Structure 1
Amino acid sequence: MAITQQTFDFLNQLKINNNREWFHANKKEYDGVKASFEESIQELINSIGTFENLSGVKIKDCNYRIARDVRFSANKDPYKTWLSASFSEGGRKSGKMDYYLHIENGGSFLGGGMYSPTAEQLAAFRQEIDFSPESLKGIIFDPLFVKTFGTPEGEKVKTSPKGYDKNHPEIELLKWKQMFFWKKFTNEEVLSPNFVEQVTETCKILKPYLDYLNVIFFDHEEPDIQLL
């Protein structure tokens, strides 16, 4: 079952009526939307699993709840107005860099990368750039990668990170505090019969960058990344 227009219609109405009374009154419609999204998640587990180790990963390990955690948020809307899932070895709670899929009316995308690194991870990222900048540059400046994702997204320091000279030859890469990439999908692309295939092919292009991060964050050895 592919994602249908019903998904966007429901999310649009939820944005207008973001309260528990409306949600529970329309629970049957949500259940249908959730079921179609979960079928797409399973299809993606199967297809991404051909090049990533998703052994044992189930739908519940990828899917995010639609209910928002409002305890520490100024926004008290009880529900998200999008659907989302992420795919990685061990599931979304593993801590590994993952492929994140976001379905929202006019705002769907597939993304991934270094979004909230620990201080240790950021230090390892910068150290790897200092020691071997060509590894990262060969990935993010690859023509197909650039065509798909464009330039990096995320925050940068304004001058130079502590411990690095402002005249370092790779200072612009070293400035990144975050570095993630995303590819947007139109509603028409999301609703197309080959959407799972489009997402899968996008994941394959993103894979070398996620591999790069997972190696330096978790394997503590020099990355040996092969471009697809």
Structure 2
Amino acid sequence: MGFDGIPARAFAFYEGLAADNSRDYWHGHKEVYEGSVREPLLALLDELEEEFGQAKLFRPQRDTRFAKDKSPYKTYQGVTVGAGGSVGYYLQLEADGLFLGAGFHAYDPAETARYRAAVDDGHTGGGLVKITDRLVKDGFELVGDRVKTQPRGYPADHPRIELLRHSSLGAERRVPRSKARGRGALTEVRDGWRHLRPLVDWLLGHVAKG
């Protein structure tokens, strides 16, 4: 079954969930979640799989075991497409539209060490600066865990100190509801991930290896 678009009911579902994050709301609207959120997303991802790889939908339930907030459900549907190791693309459907990005989250200190060594190098680090500058110009925001000063072993006046501060790195941007409705969502996600591919390729070459 092909992708026919994301219906308006998907966004309305999450508006309702944000107002009433309860099991009663969820079970009373479960068929809306299945038919307007989960199934359209699976169809969208099926059309993107050949180019970007197999996707995984996250569970809609929150892990509240160690959280102060005991709300049972996430107010968005998250998706990840692993490109290699901790590097990949991601997507969220939420009340305000779509939220897409790519990058890496360091699960191993060795990944951060490899990342910073590549940023420190004039050639590979300069390549990342060109990539991130282009993404920012195209409307993406750089995100990720980072230290407030400078990482140990690197001078505060390093020419790429802002990138060195990151222990993980991603770039993301929002797609408003007006552009996320219908089949246009496929174009938005495909084009967004294509813009992010140089960042993913850089991270695959310098962080995911080991």
TM range (shorter): 0.7 to 0.9
Q: Who is 1:224 aligned against?
A: none
Q: What is the match of residue 58 of structure 2? A: 64
For 1:67, the aligned partner's letter is Q
CA RMSD of aligned residues (A): 2.0
- What's the counterpart of residue 202 of structure 1? 192
TM-score (norm: length of structure 2): 0.86
Q: CA deviation at 1:71?
A: 1.3
Matched residue type, 2:89: Y
Are 1:84 and 2:78 an aligned pair? yes
CA offsets per residue over residues 60-110 of structure 1, 9 Å max, x none? x51111111111211111111111211234xxxx63311111111125211
Aligned-pair CA distance for 1:175? 2.0
Q: Give the share of equivalent positions with the same residue, in percent.
A: 28
1:172 to 159, 162, 168: 162
For residues 60 and 141 of structure 2, the distance between their equivalents in structure 1, rounded to whole angstroms, comes to: 30
1:110-149 to 2 correspondences below 5 Å: 110-131=100-121, 132=123, 133-142=125-134, 145-149=135-139
Cα 1:149–1:97 shift into 2, 3 Å: farther
User: How many corresponding residue pairs?
Assistant: 204
Alignment of 1:99-114 (within 5 A): 99-106=89-96, 108-114=98-104
Measure the CA separation in 1 of the matches of 2:176 and 2:79.
Answer: 18
**Cα distance between partner residues in 2 of 1:211 and 1:100:** 15
Show structure 2 runs of 5+ residues with no match. Answer: none
TM-score by length of 1: 0.80
Query: Retained in 1: the 8 A contact 2:11–2:97?
Result: no
Q: Which residue number in structure 2 is paired with residue 36 of structure 1?
A: 40
Q: Distance in 2 between matches of 1:15 and 1:151?
A: 25
| Shift of residue 218, structure 1, vs aligned partner | 2.6
CA distance in 2, matches of 1:172, 1:78: 37
Counterpart residue identity of residue 71, structure 1: R
- Whole-Å separation in 1 of the counterparts to 2:74 and 2:170: 22
User: Structure 2: which amino acid aligns with 1:44?
Assistant: L
What are the ranges of 5 or more consecutive residues in structure 1 without an aligned counterpart? 221-228
| CA distance 1:170–1:18, shift in 2 (3 Å) | closer
User: Of the two structures, which has the highest relative contact order with CA contacts closer than 8 Å and spacing of 6 or more?
Assistant: 2
Q: Secondary structure at the match of 1:72?
A: coil
Matched residue SS, 1:198: helix
Aligned-partner SS, 1:162: coil
Deviation at 1:127, TM superposition (A): 0.5
| CA-CA distance at 1:40 after TM superposition | 1.8
